[in-house]
């Protein structure tokens, strides 16, 4: 079975390509390298000792996407590609709507043309907004608080309408919680070029001396120690969740939505302390004001993903903080 992975050079995309190749799928990647590097393709080949096809380019380029489907006989698509920085999306909403909608609509139109109707879509827990209760179930109210999250929510709506228009589609929408960690080879991982928005890449840059001090955004939340609580999931577990989703859409038509998390929430301070203890390194931090748009706490009810996808995350928070650090020490 040949899988097109859009954004396959990215953090989650590259780990998913490794899992796909290890499970004997053929892989084709399209990536415009706007937030990744081309050498990731060689690292995936080295890790898996398998070949894969890479097309450098943009999903908004309909000619290129058509050429890929014409040449490659794609059986299914895992769609990661898109802009994903919450803060940037607040400053540049039109860029986010134009890019994330154009790329997705172009992909779907070409998939229809070539009768390729199996899709795994990369969504996000951010579609739940600030949940009233926890843990979060897939049928909770959906309410976004930033343009990035809204692109994910509206694309979920497009996919529902697409399925309602043609029941030949098989669509799995995966709502990620907070992915961290790295492949055990430490050849691939999360390594943003500029100042990181997210917690773990920032901690790692402080721990490796690249940045001076971590700012902990607020300690007056309604949580165990006042700092924000999130459901961190190892990126390799997340990648395995995509294999389970491919297996499902290969068997069943329809559209469904799945939380990919661990079901356990950790506070920022708990993450910092665990990171320091596991890696025997100090993380210099200070408490600052809340970050606008942040919520108190967020963690998944994972029972539906277990029931329908037979997916359960297995890696511990200790493995996550260790792998994040080991990768960064070798790659920054």
Is the torsion defined by CA of 20, 305, 316, 220 positive or negative?
positive
Applying CB under 6 A, does 291 fall inside the site for ligand WQD?
Answer: yes
- The helix (run of H) or strand (run of E) holding residue 319 is helix 317-331
Of the candidates 126, 191, 259, 324, which one interacts with ligand WQD according to CB under 6 A?
Answer: 126
Q: Where are the alpha helices (DSSP H) in 126-167?
A: 147-165
Contacts of 191 (CB under 8 A, 6+ apart): 201, 327, 328, 331, 332
Residue 130 sits in the site that holds ligand WQD (CB under 6 A)? no
Identified binder of ligand WQD from the candidate list 61, 294, 301, 326, rule CB under 6 A: 294
Q: What tokens were used for 96?
A: 């986010």
DSSP state of 289: P
Q: In the bound complex, what is the minimum distance in angstroms from residue 69's beta carbon to ligand WQD?
A: 27
**Residue recorded with tokens 């020490």:** 329
**Considering the rule CB under 6 A, would residue 12 count as an interface residue with ligand WQD?**
no
Of 185, 217, 273, 326, the residue at the interface with ligand WQD (CB under 6 A) is 217
- Residues identified as active-site: 148
Helix (H, G, I), strand (E, B) or coil at 118: strand
Nearest-CA neighbor of 104 among 58, 167, 35? 58
Kindly state whether residue 36 participates in binding ligand WQD, applying the rule CB under 6 A.
no
Q: How far is CA 101 from the centre of its chain?
A: 17
Which window, 32-40, 60-68, 214-222, 301-309, contacts ligand WQD (CB under 6 A)?
A: 214-222
Task: Report yes or no: 194 and 142 within 8 Å, Cβ to Cβ.
Answer: no
197 binds ligand WQD (CB under 6 A): yes
The site that binds ligand WQD (CB under 6 A) totals a number of residues, namely 18
- Measured CA to CA, the distance from residue 114 to residue 264 in angstroms comes to 41
In angstroms, what is the minimal distance from the CB of 171 to ligand WQD?
A: 19
DSSP conformational letter for 306 = I
Q: Which stretch binds ligand WQD (CB under 6 A): 24-32, 112-120, 195-203, 321-329?
A: 195-203
Query: By CB under 6 A, is residue 228 in contact with ligand WQD?
Result: yes
In the list 118, 183, 230, 234, the residue contacting ligand WQD (rule: CB under 6 A) is 230
Residue from 178, 259, 279, 324 touching ligand WQD (CB under 6 A): that is: 178
| Options 52-60, 65-73, 133-141, 193-201: segment touching ligand WQD (CB under 6 A) | 193-201
Among 27, 65, 86, 278, binds ligand WQD (CB under 6 A): 86
Pairing of strands 229-230, 266-267: antiparallel
- For ligand WQD, the closer of residues 79 and 117 by Cβ is 79
> CB of residue 185 vs ligand WQD: minimum separation in angstroms?
24
Instruction: Give dist(CA 260, CA 120) in Å, integer.
Output: 13
- Rounded CA separation 71/111 (Å): 13
The one segment of 41-49, 101-109, 191-199, 246-254 that binds ligand WQD by CB under 6 A: 191-199
Place of tokens 């706490």: 297
> Could you tell me if 162 and 111 are in contact, meaning their C-beta atoms sit under 8 angstroms apart?
no
Query: What is the binding site for ligand WQD (CB under 6 A)?
Result: 84, 86, 124, 126, 178, 197-199, 202, 214-217, 228, 230, 268, 291, 294
């Amino acid at each position: 079975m040949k899988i097109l992975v859009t954004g396959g050079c990215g953090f989650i995309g590259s780990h998913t390509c490794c899992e796909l190749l290890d499970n004997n799928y053929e892989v084709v990647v399209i990536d415009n390298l706007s937030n990744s590097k081309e050498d990731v393709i060689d690292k995936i080949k080295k890790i898996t000792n398998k070949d894969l096809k890479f097309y450098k380019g943009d999903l908004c380029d309909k000619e290129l996407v058509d050429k890929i489907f014409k040449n490659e006989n794609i059986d299914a698509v895992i769609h990661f590609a898109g802009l994903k920085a919450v803060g940037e999306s607040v400053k540049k909403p039109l860029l986010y709507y134009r890019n994330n909608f154009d790329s997705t609509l172009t992909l779907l139109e070409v998939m229809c043309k070539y009768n390729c109707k199996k899709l795994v879509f990369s969504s996000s827990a951010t579609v739940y907004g600030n949940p009233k209760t926890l843990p979060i179930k897939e049928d909770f109210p959906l309410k976004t608080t930033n343009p990035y999250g809204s692109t994910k929510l509206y694309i979920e709506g497009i996919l529902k309408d697409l399925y309602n228009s043609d029941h030949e589609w098989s669509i799995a929408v995966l709502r990620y919680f907070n992915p961290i960690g790295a492949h055990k080879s430490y050849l691939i991982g999360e390594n943003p070029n500029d100042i990181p928005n997210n917690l773990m890449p920032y901690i790692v840059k402080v721990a490796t001396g690249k940045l001076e001090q971590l700012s902990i955004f607020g300690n007056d939340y309604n949580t165990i120690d006042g700092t924000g609580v999130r459901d961190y999931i190892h990126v390799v577990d997340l990648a395995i969740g995509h294999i389970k989703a491919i297996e499902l859409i290969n068997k069943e038509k329809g559209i469904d939505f799945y939380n990919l998390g661990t079901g356990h929430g950790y506070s920022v301070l708990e993450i910092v302390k665990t990171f320091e203890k596991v890696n025997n390194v100090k993380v210099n931090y200070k408490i600052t004001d809340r970050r606008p748009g942040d919520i108190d706490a967020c963690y998944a009810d994972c029972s539906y993903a277990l029931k329908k996808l037979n997916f359960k995350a297995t890696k511990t928070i200790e493995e996550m903080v260790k792998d994040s650090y080991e990768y960064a020490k070798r790659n920054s």
